[in-house]
Amino acid sequence: MRTLLIANWKMHYGPMKAGGWVRAFRRERLPKEIDIAVAVPHVSLAAARASLGRASIPALASQNSFWAKEGAYTGEVSPDMLQEFGVQYCLVGHSERRALLGETDEMVGKKAAALQSAGIVPVICVGENEAQNKKGEVNKILRQQVTAALAGLKPEGKTPFVFAYEPIWSIGTGKACPAQKAKEAHEVIRAAIQKKFSASLADKVRVIYGGSVDANNISEYITTTGVNGALVGGASLDPRAFAFLCRTANPA
């Protein structure tokens, strides 16, 4: 299975800076053996696309989408609109959106299904908060979030969907989740996929880890069974540092 690394700029880099990041990243030596994507703010998609031209590395990703095709949804962006920029992946249910904007499991499921119908791979973010972790509720929370997200999804296609396990206490805190704990969480996510679909699909779907990943710890994650890549926030803001992280993830 090919490793997948996704840079998540979060709310950084508008159109004036996005092109510069893409050009600087592309000047670096980039491993072809792994899949690399960059999730940019909606307003920066056009600039990132223009700087990419026909190049396919990094793939373009979005940080969010609405579920309807079009209509009276002021401020929202549809999967078809993202398609026009050649967006290949879209994050859904990032914990920042769940916490700050009230995204529910049901909304996340609707977004994931709509993206899939538009030919965009949903990257569904799931994970427990610190209190839930302390109470030993990790597996329960993951089963709940994954099952809801899978409700409208189809199992077909080369990459039907991706899950990102992102323990909230680990995002942007420098407290990376021990790889063994991430492995256990990924197994719970795979078990829920198997329950809904099949063991063969569960084996095929990439489950990536996110939370304080950097060039120092990336190797530990991607050499852990069942961890198929990473979602990288803070450590993706510098294009050279992120390129180094990508090379570290692929020492070949």
Hey, which residues are catalytic here? Answer: 94, 166
> Which residue, 69 or 240, is less far from ligand PEP as judged by CB?
240
Binding flag, residue 178, ligand PEP (CB under 6 A): no
Q: Which CB, 31 or 210, lies closer to ligand PEP?
A: 210
Q: Is 20 in the site for ligand PEP (CB under 6 A)?
A: no
Q: How far is the C-alpha of 83 from the C-alpha of 131, rounded, in Å?
A: 38
**In terms of DSSP H, where are the helices of 88-134?**
95-101, 105-117, 130-134
> How many residues does this entry show for the chain?
252
Report d(CA 26, CA 20) in Å as an integer: 10
Cα 43 to chain center, whole Å? 19
Q: Which of 10, 97, 98, 110 binds ligand PEP (CB under 6 A)?
A: 10
- Binding to ligand PEP by residue 172, rule CB under 6 A? yes
**Residues 117, 223 contacting (CB under 8 angstroms):** no
213-242: which residues touch ligand PEP (CB under 6 A)?
A: 213, 231-235
Instruction: Please give the residue whose beta carbon sits closest to ligand PEP in the complex.
Output: 233
Give me the least distance between CB of 12 and ligand PEP, in Å please. 11
Question: Least CB distance from residue 213 to ligand PEP, whole Å?
Answer: 5
Classify 19 in phi/psi space as left (phi over 0), alpha (psi -120 to 50) or beta: alpha
Kindly state the smallest distance separating residue 211's Cβ from ligand PEP, in Å.
5
d(CA 69, CA 106): 17
Contact flags string 180-219 toward ligand PEP, x per CB under 6 A: ------------------------------xxxx------
Helix axes 138-150, 105-117, angle to 10 degrees: 40
Size of the site for ligand PEP (CB under 6 A): 14
Whose Cβ is closer to ligand PEP: residue 212's or residue 250's?
Answer: 212
CA–CA distance, 16 with 31 (Å, rounded to integer): 27
| Residues engaged in binding ligand PEP (CB under 6 A) | 8, 10, 166, 171-172, 210-213, 231-235
